Amino acid sequence: MNIAIVGIGLIGGSIAIRLKETNFAEKVIGVDKSEINQKKALQMNLVDEIMDLHEAIATSKIIILTTPVDAIMQLTPYILDRITDQIIIDMGSTKINILQQIADHPKRGRYVAAHPMAGTEYSGPEAAVPNLFKGKNMVYVEAFKSDEDAFDLADALTDLLEMKSLFMNAEEHDMHTAYVSHISHLTSFALALTVLEKEKSQGRIFELAGSGFESTVRLAKSSPEMWTPIFKQNRENVLEVLEEHIKQLQKLHDKLEKEDYEGLYKLIKKSNKIKRIIK
């Protein structure tokens, strides 16, 4: 069978690498609106062929969507209208809106909502890397609404990527990702903006940047094409966590401003409980 990947960037390209390593697909077909990405994907041998979307739908058994989530919102119903028994796997980072949009589609069963919890701060075909997914979680959302054969094939791909399967409902998924993924990006963007602003008057400021700074700011290299739509689609949850986060920063600020060092110590000590989660 042929597998089409729509959006050959970090995620799509890394899936393509694994498909080519394993010969899971007869042909890996690339679809991308950017001609530059099409060329790179061929040059890097990520895909066997570049096709337009209609051709790819007609010749592929599985259509994997790895574009930004606003494009997934448009592509999914469009493709569902045009398939017979093919399968669509949506790899996007937000799920509530897309699932609402296609809830009553006659081909709903051919669609599988899956979110691989893996990535880096880089984008484009050149960001594709082997083993990006190994050992990470694949989150299925509303998996019970997919046809059994469609889910089984998606799950075979999850196995191929050496990922673990998790199941959630859409509300849980979108809220949890806001708290453990989307907010991390926002704090990094804000931190980069803060320090870049200061650099204007203090040229040497980055000379002292060490690994701690790098670690908290590296996500600020992430693509606005990918992230603006994620924040749009997950707006309410993201606003909630952002407000919570600002509140926590304000609390630390107020303790310091009032010179309540015992209170500041206690907050830091409390935050140390994160050790339980990340080793």
Residue with smaller CB distance to its own copies, 86 or 97: 97
Token pair of 45 as six digits: 């041998």
Q: CA 129, 72, 55, 58 torsion: positive or negative?
A: positive
Q: Which of 42, 44, 53, 166 binds its own copies (CB under 8 A)?
A: 166
Q: Is 216 in the site for its own copies (CB under 8 A)?
A: yes
Q: How far is the CB of 17 from its own copies (least distance, A)?
A: 18
What is the total residue count of the chain?
A: 279
Q: How far is the CB of 5 from its own copies (least distance, A)?
A: 21
Q: Which of 44, 71, 160, 264 binds its own copies (CB under 8 A)?
A: 264
| Beta pairing class for 137-141 and 111-116 | antiparallel
* Secondary structure letter of residue 180 according to DSSP: I
Q: How far is the CB of 190 from its own copies (least distance, A)?
A: 4
Q: Which of 42, 136, 145, 170 binds its own copies (CB under 8 A)?
A: 136
Q: Is 232 in the site for its own copies (CB under 8 A)?
A: yes
Q: Is 128 in the site for its own copies (CB under 8 A)?
A: no
Q: Which of 121, 131, 145, 169 binds its own copies (CB under 8 A)?
A: 121
State the Cα–Cα distance between residues 37 and 151, nearest whole angstrom: 29
With CB under 8 A as the contact rule, which of the stretches 26-34, 51-59, 103-111, 246-254 interacts with its own copies? 246-254
State the Cα–Cα distance between residues 153 and 179, nearest whole angstrom: 30
Q: Which of 42, 71, 117, 170 binds its own copies (CB under 8 A)?
A: 117
With CB under 8 A as the contact rule, which of the stretches 22-30, 54-62, 83-91, 241-249 interacts with its own copies? 241-249
Q: Taking CB under 8 A as the criterion, which residues in 192-211 touch its own copies?
A: 192-198, 202, 204-211
Q: How far is the CB of 33 from its own copies (least distance, A)?
A: 17
State the Cα–Cα distance between residues 110 and 51, nearest whole angstrom: 22
* Inter-residue contact 164 to 135 (CB < 8 Å): yes
Q: State the virtual CA torsion across 42, 13, 114, 241 in degrees, nearest 10.
A: -130
Half-sphere exposure (Cβ direction) of 69: Cα atoms closer than 13 Å:
24
- For residue 67, give the amino acid letter: T
Q: How far is the CB of 54 from its own copies (least distance, A)?
A: 29
Q: Taking CB under 8 A as the criterion, which residues in 59-98 touch its own copies?
A: none
Q: State the binding string over 35-64 for its own copies (x if CB under 8 A, else -).
A: ------------------------------
Q: Is 217 in the site for its own copies (CB under 8 A)?
A: yes
State the Cα–Cα distance between residues 265 and 259, nearest whole angstrom: 11
Burial grade of 120 (CB within 10 A; 0-12, 13-18, 19 or more): middle
Using CB under 8 A as the binding criterion, the count of chain residues that bind its own copies stands at 93
| Residue of 161, 173, 154, 45 lying closest to 90 (CA atoms) | 154
